[in-house]
Amino acid sequence: MGKSKQKKVLGRGLSALLNDNNHNIESIVDDNAELIVGSIIDLPIEKISNNPFQPRTHFNEESIKELSTSIKQLGVIQPVTVRKIKGNKYQLVSGERRLRASELAGLKTIPSYVRLADDIESLEMALVENIQRQDLDPIEIGLSYERLINEIKLTQDQLSERIGKKRSTIANYMRLLKLDPIIQTGIRDRFITMGHGRALVNISDSKLQIELYKKIVKKGLSVREIESLVKNLRDNKTKSTDNYLSPFINQAAEELKTILGTSVSVTSNKQGKGILKINFDSQEELQNILNKVKGD
């Protein structure tokens, strides 16, 4: 009796399984549904329709072109998520920018997480089980955390309880997903470590991120060395942005320059506090400045 219910399509490719009209999988209770949940499958882009509930209506075309160029070079780093609808059709759940950029890049298929109508609990189980694997790279772990939070609607605290990891650990892995795709690929291919990535994510400029990434690979910089380099860059940026000159302060400095007959420099912050520097080349010039200040 049990043998008659054995799954006849085990061992076949998942794509073939989804396209098999004799074994149509619509719900988590259908045969072989557990093989689909949590898996990544290459799906034809033409079979994926846009999500009618997509909240974003405007997409930056230049950004899509840049992503398309990246996809041509590196492929799709992060799969899109789709929901299987009737027949062999799919509806996009998340990843519209990636889908658009992949179409622009001329791809015919795209790696996709396939969701079923009632697979929330099973998806959570599959993802949590996936996270426990020893062979996952940091980016894959970050993606799994992101999916649990976005698709299962867990908070970081709830996720922390479910998987037995500190909230800060979860946050550190997810922050890696903010890195430029080139650097994410570098982490996955072990050109750099997660520690390097954690340091680089503190740089918001992606071009500078890539510059530093190339330095790490070329010179074999340690995590401590790159952390120090990033800190210096951020400190220098803070110093440059701290100097805020209002139109009034600029005008006052120019008037002092005219009155005193010497160069005057001013640094100030947005609260109006600052330092005034008056230059002189000799004691005689300093005496002349004093006389002008006193009105002599």
The domain limits of the chain are 1-52+61-118, 181-242, 247-294
CB count, 10 Å around CB of 294? Answer: 7
Contact call for residues 26 and 34 (beta carbons, < 8 A)? no
Spot the catalytic one: 26, 34, 66, 96: 96
Identity at 171, one-letter amino acid code = A
Q: Determine the number of helices (DSSP H) and then strands (DSSP E) in the chain.
A: 14, 7
Contact status, residue 87 vs residue 19, Cβ threshold 8 Å: no
Buried b / exposed e across 243-279, counting CB within 10 Å, b at 16+? Answer: eeeeeebeeebeebeeebebebebebeeeeebeeeee
How many Å is the maximal CA-CA distance in the chain? 114
Q: Are 113 and 148 in contact (CB under 8 A)?
A: no
In this prediction, residue 12 carries a pLDDT of 45
Strands 109-115 and 80-84 come out as parallel
- Phi then psi for 202, rounded to 5 degrees? -75, -10
Please indicate whether residue 96 is annotated as part of the active site.
Answer: yes
The Cβ of residue 46 has, within 10 Å, a number of other Cβ atoms equal to 10
For the domain spanning 1-52+61-118, the CATH number is 3.90.1530.30
Q: Which of 158, 159, 152 is nearest to 131 (CA)?
A: 159
> Contact at 8 Å (CB) between 112 and 147?
no
Residues 106, 112, 27, 151: is their CA dihedral positive or negative?
Answer: negative
Residue 111 carries which DSSP code?
Answer: E
Answer yes or no: are the C-beta atoms of 154 and 188 closer than 8 Å.
Answer: no
Strands (E), the chain: 40-44, 48-49, 80-84, 90-94, 109-115, 264-268, 274-278
Per-residue pLDDT of the chain (296 residues; tens, 9 = 90+): 443 333 333 334 666 666 665 556 666 666 666 667 667 888 899 989 886 655 455 567 888 899 999 999 889 988 988 888 777 788 887 788 899 999 999 999 999 988 775 667 667 766 776 677 667 889 989 988 998 888 888 888 988 988 888 999 999 999 999 999 999 999 999 999 999 999 999 998 888 999 999 999 999 999 999 999 988 887 776 555 555 666 677 777 777 777 877 777 777 766 667 788 888 777 877 888 788 777 76
